[in-house]
């Protein structure tokens, strides 16, 4: 019998805990930052993070998101190579719970404007997915 309890506790720790209503909906997403598309990327990332945990329900309590930081800035030069720092911070609020998560990444400038634009978008999109996943895990934690 004690093995069964250990298994159940282990599964609940591994899978996380859903909110009392069973799942959340995506509420307001605000992005008072200069990066134009970051609001859309944050919404898509939150939806994906909730869905991957089976915690997305349009009738559930709303999770609001605020993008407090979306940065793409030259960091340093190493010889002929220019490095950029990308940083994204999301604040998720669901009822009484508020979770803030930040992710950063340093990338190498590809050397042309079109490549740099594509790299900036891809990097910030990836950071949005990672930050949203971290934040949802934080909301799901007991």
> Which residue stretches of the chain are H helix?
2-15, 38-52, 113-140
Residue 1 within any structural domain of the chain: no
Q: Whole-model pTM above 0.85?
A: no
Report the relative pairing of strands 97-108 and 81-94 from DSSP bridges. Answer: antiparallel
Residue 9 within any structural domain of the chain: no
The residue segments making up the domain with residue 108 are 19-140
Query: Closest by alpha carbon to 19, among 96, 134, 129?
Result: 96
Which residues face 104 on adjacent strands?
87
Q: pLDDT digit of tens for each residue in the chain (142 aa)?
A: 555 455 445 555 444 444 444 589 999 999 999 898 999 999 999 999 999 999 999 999 999 999 999 999 998 888 888 999 999 999 999 989 999 999 999 999 998 889 989 999 999 999 999 999 999 999 888 7
First to last CA, the chain: 25
Residue 123 within any structural domain of the chain: yes
Residue 3 within any structural domain of the chain: no
* CATH number reported for the structural domain that contains residue 71 in this entry: 3.30.160.150
Residue 13 within any structural domain of the chain: no
Residue 67 within any structural domain of the chain: yes
Query: Closest by alpha carbon to 103, among 55, 42, 62, 57?
Result: 42
Residue 12 within any structural domain of the chain: no
Domain count, the chain: 1
């Amino acid at each position: 019998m004690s093995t069964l309890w250990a298994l159940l506790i282990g599964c609940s720790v591994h899978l996380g805990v859903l909110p009392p209503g069973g799942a959340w909906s995506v509420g307001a997403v605000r992005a008072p930052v200069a990066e134009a598309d970051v609001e859309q990327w944050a919404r898509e990332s939150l939806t994906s993070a909730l869905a991957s945990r089976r915690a997305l329900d349009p009738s559930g309590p709303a999770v609001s998101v605020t993008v407090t930081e979306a940065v793409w800035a030259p960091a340093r030069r190493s010889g002929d190579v220019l490095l950029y720092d990308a940083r994204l911070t999301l604040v998720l609020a669901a009822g009484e719970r508020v979770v803030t998560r930040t992710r950063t990444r340093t990338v190498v400038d590809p050397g042309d404007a079109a490549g740099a634009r594509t790299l900036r978008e891809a990097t910030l999109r990836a950071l949005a997915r990672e930050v949203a996943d971290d934040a949802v895990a934080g909301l799901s934690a007991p």
